[in-house]
Amino acid sequence: MTVISTMFDSSKPVLSAVASIALMRTVTNELIPREVLNFVQSGLHHVFRQFNAQFTIVIEEFQGMTRNQVFEAAEAYLGTKATVSAERVKATKSMEHKKLSFNLDRDEEVSDVFEGVSVKWKLICIQVDSSRVRHFDRGSSPVSEIRSYELTFHKKHKNKIIDSYLPYVMEIAKQIKQGIVTLKIHSNEYNRWCHDPIKFNHPMSFTTLAIDEELQREIKNDLDKFVRAKEFYRRTGKAWKRGYLLYGPPGTGKSSLIAAMANYLNYDIYDLDLTNVGDNKSLKQLILSMSNRSILVIEDIDCSVKLQNREEDEEVVHNGHNNMTLSGLLNAVDGLWSCCGEEHIIVFTTNHKDRLDPALLRPGRMDKQIHLSYCNFSAFKQLVVNYLCITEHELFEKIEVLLGEVQVTPAEIAEVLTKDVDATECLQDLIKFLQAKKMVQEESKREENSKEEQDLGI
């Protein structure tokens, strides 16, 4: 008994351990058969090897004064796991977030499995004298604890964890962040963006947008490719931006498509009113102050300021208070994109593509030109789902024929479909509306033809 108490004498841990091992060896060598001893020893050896085979990555919250992005990502990612496997979590919700979020509490552990590999996360918090802490939390108040995550796993999976798991955590965190942050729409007040952007609550999405199915698929694929192409843009030295020109008659869904794009990508919108911009320098400032992952929208580019005629650029174009030029616009846009800012989409809209200066349409400037046209049957069916909640009706056949003969915008159809609560009555009204429109369009076509014939002297 005396020996055992010496063994655990904490003042002499090394000597005690050596003494106890020697004693145990003597005792066991005499009492336990050699084979059993070998077996036990190899088992213990295996256990120790297993124990030592753990590898730990420490992810500190701050790198100097800036917050470590890996820590932020881990925090968001583990928030989704915490309620499942931790025993104590913290719940938070701020004004700008839609949902509750959960975080690990101090010293809590969460396990995770990635492609068959088990890992363990632990939040370590060390209390420190706040006067000695050199970094600040987001609200700029001194923090009194240093936080870090420890990510532990078997050594043999080191490459997989570093090359695949951590990038996966970063990606998931990004998606989570997108899901909880509400979108904003910024508008310019003369030469600067308003301080208080408005919450962007437009319900339009690619599910409710009534455009041709094929076109919709094409646009979504294009956006997906753009978002995934960071590496491509970096490798090719191109700025990570994409320009869209949306053109078509009023009421065909250009603004609705912009809303659907913003909701799809979770990008803020910067709605730039060019008539409100003083000069080229202010325009450049406005574009430079946009945040990453956002859509710059310039609606009705053909009529917002007098930019159509490039020759006039040589002189300054005066539009009331506006001293802005087309070259100014193009330079601001290209200048920004070639040096700073990431994941920017710019959308110009117009009802009259033919009135635009070719410089605006040059390849590389507008990467994609999207024609939003009159309503076809596939777009009509989407509108009916939106407004009447039906997918089939006996009157559809008749409407399909009429839609092939009449130029009608989704906005016009939407208006008719909201007039009545009864689906059949709405569709009957729509048929009447389309028939009347058909007559008017045929009449004006006849007039046009006879005018042409007169001009040609037939």
Ligand X SMILES: Nc1ncnc2c1ncn2[C@@H]1O[C@H](COP(=O)(O)OP(=O)(O)OP(=O)(O)O)[C@@H](O)[C@H]1O
Interacting residues with ligand X (CB under 6 A):
209-211, 250-256, 351, 410-411, 414
- DSSP secondary structure string, 275-314? GG--BHHHHHHHHHTPPSSEEEEETTHHHHSS-S-GGGGS
Cβ nearer to ligand X, comparing 71 with 206 = 206
At residue 192, φ and ψ (nearest 5 deg) are -145, 160
| Contacted by 351, from ligand X, Mg ion, none: CB < 5 to 8 Å by type | ligand X
| Contacted by 209, from ligand X, Mg ion, none: CB < 5 to 8 Å by type | ligand X
Cβ nearer to Mg ion, comparing 109 with 300 = 300
Q: Is 44 exposed, middle or buried (0-12, 13-18, 19+ CB in 10 A)?
A: exposed
- C-beta nearest to ligand X: residue: 253
At residue 114, φ and ψ (nearest 5 deg) are -130, 120
Min CB(407)–ligand X separation in Å: 14
| Contacted by 328, from ligand X, Mg ion, none: CB < 5 to 8 Å by type | none
- C-beta nearest to Mg ion: residue: 255
Min CB(411)–ligand X separation in Å: 3
Min CB(241)–Mg ion separation in Å: 22
| Contacted by 252, from ligand X, Mg ion, none: CB < 5 to 8 Å by type | ligand X
- DSSP secondary structure string, 53-119? TEEEEEEESEETTEEPHHHHHHHHHHHHHHHHH-S-EEEE--TTBSS-EEEEPTT-EEEEEETTEEE
Cβ nearer to Mg ion, comparing 251 with 328 = 251
Cβ nearer to ligand X, comparing 246 with 366 = 246
Cβ nearer to ligand X, comparing 282 with 304 = 304
**Between the CA of residue 5 and those of 1, 9, 12, 145, what are the distances in Å?**
6, 6, 12, 39
| Contacted by 336, from ligand X, Mg ion, none: CB < 5 to 8 Å by type | none
Using CB under 5 A, list all residues that contact Mg ion: 254-255
End-to-end CA distance of the chain: 126
Min CB(351)–ligand X separation in Å: 5
Q: How far apart are CA 212 and CA 203, in angstroms?
A: 19
Q: How far apart are CA 397 and CA 431, in angstroms?
A: 11
Min CB(349)–Mg ion separation in Å: 6
